[in-house]
């Protein structure tokens, strides 16, 4: 809650809440928590975590989220994407993809919230990106697992490959450690937005400072 | 009298709008009861979902027939704004016809994904009390796959490959393509202005 208010006041453009252990634990994100955050938030709010049905999504949206993001549940039941976009419109439906380079190319991984249960889904990332768009995804968050948590920059090469085939908004995730990483992901990978967690949580990068630097680099952002 | 009612058009996601009005100190209730709506000081028509679905629900509840008779300020938001026009390409839907114009599908292009999702600033076309105190460079949050191109009812536009109607007005009917309830301080200002409007 304190973080949500802080990001609102610092000028974050969207808040994404991932309950990353929900899917591996067979749970779904806590609705009352969503409601408490939505009450104080005046920026877009996307919620993820074990949303496995239209009923789950409806409860989360009714609690005040703008969008729901599905990752492991979409891999388990791709028709869920159609069901959600048919009911709520594709603008409500974000598909998160946890991707890592393997000997077979970029592959999508499931249950990444728990290292013990993380497994390769059997899906090629580029094919999955095409499929989720056909099924009605309104936004894709590509979390590049190879760069996630190490703060050495977004995976520009992989994001660029996905950008080529992605007609819906593409959000880059994984690897932000410095301001130039954000500049690069917009300039070189053509991402529509950049998601970061640890650098903001720890205060390593202050959002107002980041936004000033992006504007100075000629990237249009809300002040 | 209730300061504002939010029409329950069947879509989810009415809570964020209700919370935004509450943060401005307004009592806002969510209803699809025509009598409650008719008696309200102000009416908000939100909408998340498809045009066809939303119009079917508004017709079933009798709200579609009621809306054209309202004399108090009415604010359509996002799909709610689109429903004020004559028709929508989304599901070839006949809409309320309170404003002249039609809703069209956005087409994706390089550097311009669809749905259009993000923060954009507006071009002001005419002064209006709904936009009082909002500076030209302020950003609002858009999320939509369909839009009303530039039209005579537009009081502000947004550029997304072509000029789109961002804020519209005819008489006591206003509409915003963006979500003021999710547009930080600028959006709160707009909603605050709406709460000052009277019949």
Q: Buried b vs exposed e over B60-76: b needs ≥16 C-beta within 10 Å? A: ebebbebbeebebbbbb
Predicted confidence at residue B105, as pLDDT, reads 95
Mean pLDDT score, A44-60: 94
Judge contact between B188 and A42, C-beta under 8 A. yes
Q: Buried b vs exposed e over B177-188: b needs ≥16 C-beta within 10 Å? A: bbbbbbbbebbb
Residue B133 backbone zone (phi > 0: left; psi -120 to 50: alpha; other: beta): left
Interface of B with A in 156-195 (CB under 8 A): 179, 181-185, 187-188
The tens digit of pLDDT for each residue in A190-218 reads: 999 999 999 999 999 999 999 999 999 99
Q: Please tell me if residue B143 touches chain A, with a CB cutoff of 8 Å.
A: yes
Q: Please tell me if residue A90 touches chain B, with a CB cutoff of 8 Å.
A: yes
Q: Catalytic: B179?
A: yes
As a whole number of angstroms, the distance between CA B84 and CA B76 comes to 7
As a whole number of angstroms, the distance between CA B2 and CA B73 comes to 13
Contacts of B112 (CB under 8 A, 6+ apart): B160, B161
Contact check, Cβ <8 Å, A65/B119: no
Q: Using CA of residue A65, residue B176, residue B3, residue B96, what is the dihedral sign?
A: negative
The tens digit of pLDDT for each residue in A70-91 reads: 999 999 999 999 999 988 888 8
End-to-end CA gap in chain B: 13
Predicted confidence at residue B1, as pLDDT, reads 45
The token duo for A166 is 């992605």
Q: Catalytic: B151?
A: no
ipTM of predicted assembly, 2 dp: 0.91
Mean pLDDT score, A170-182: 96
The tens digit of pLDDT for each residue in B131-174 reads: 999 998 899 999 999 999 999 999 999 999 999 999 999 999 99
Residue tagged 């009911």 (tokens): A87
Distances (CA, A) of B87 to A73, A207, B70, B82, B148: 36, 42, 20, 8, 10
Q: Catalytic: B181?
A: yes
Q: Helix (H, G, I), strand (E, B), or coil: what is residue A53?
A: coil
Beta strands A119-124 and A105-110 are antiparallel
Give the nearest partner residue to B114 out of A64, A87, A168, using CB atoms.
A168
Contact check, Cβ <8 Å, B49/A63: no
* Domains defined for chain A, CATH in brackets: 2-216 (3.20.20.70)
* Domains defined for chain B, CATH in brackets: 4-196 (3.40.50.880)
Give the nearest partner residue to B143 out of A11, A62, A91, using CB atoms.
A91
**Closest residue, chain A, to B116 (C-alpha):** A169
Q: Please tell me if residue A56 touches chain B, with a CB cutoff of 8 Å.
A: no
């Amino acid at each position: 809650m304190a973080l949500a208010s802080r990001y609102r006041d610092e000028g974050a453009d969207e808040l994404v809440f991932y309950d990353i252990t929900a899917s591996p634990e067979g749970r779904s994100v806590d609705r009352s928590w969503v409601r408490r955050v939505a009450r104080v938030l005046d920026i877009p709010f996307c919620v993820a975590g074990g949303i496995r049905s239209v009923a789950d999504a409806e409860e989360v949206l009714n609690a005040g989220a703008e969008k729901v993001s599905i990752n492991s549940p979409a891999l388990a039941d791709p028709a869920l994407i159609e069901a959600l976009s048919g009911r709520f419109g594709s603008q409500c439906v974000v598909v998160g993809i946890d991707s890592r380079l393997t000997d077979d190319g970029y592959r999508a991984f499931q249950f990444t919230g728990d290292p013990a249960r993380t497994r390769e889904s059997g899906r090629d990332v580029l094919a999955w990106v095409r499929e989720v768009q056909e099924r009605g995804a309104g936004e894709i968050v590509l979390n590049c697992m190879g760069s996630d948590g190490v703060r050495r920059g977004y995976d520009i090469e992989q994001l660029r490959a996905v950008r080529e085939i992605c007609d819906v908004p593409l959000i880059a995730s994984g690897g932000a450690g410095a301001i130039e990483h954000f500049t690069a992901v917009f300039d070189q990978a053509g991402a529509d937005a950049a998601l970061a967690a640890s650098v903001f949580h720890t205060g390593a990068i202050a959002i107002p400072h980041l936004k000033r630097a992006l504007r100075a680099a000629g990237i249009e952002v809300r002040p | 009298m209730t300061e504002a009612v939010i029409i329950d058009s069947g879509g989810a996601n009415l809570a964020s709008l209700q919370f935004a009005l509450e943060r401005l100190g307004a009592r806002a209730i969510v209803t699809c009861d025509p009598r409650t709506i008719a008696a309200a000081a102000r009416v908000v028509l939100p909408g998340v979902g498809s045009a066809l679905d939303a119009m079917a629900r508004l017709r079933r509840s009798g709200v579609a027939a009621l809306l054209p008779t309202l004399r108090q300020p009415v604010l359509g938001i996002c799909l709610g704004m689109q429903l004020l026009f004559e028709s929508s390409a989304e599901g070839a839907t006949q809409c309320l016809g309170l404003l002249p114009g039609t809703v069209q599908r956005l087409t994706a292009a390089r550097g311009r994904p669809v749905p259009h999702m993000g923060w954009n600033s507006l071009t002001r076309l005419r002064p209006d009390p709904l936009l009082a105190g909002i500076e030209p460079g302020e950003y609002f949050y858009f999320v939509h796959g369909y839009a009303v191109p530039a039209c005579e009812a537009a009081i502000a536009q947004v550029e997304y490959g072509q000029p789109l109607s961002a804020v519209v007005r005819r008489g006591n009917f206003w509409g915003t393509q963006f979500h003021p309830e999710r547009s930080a301080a600028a959006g709160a200002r707009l909603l605050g202005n709406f709460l000052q409007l009277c019949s």
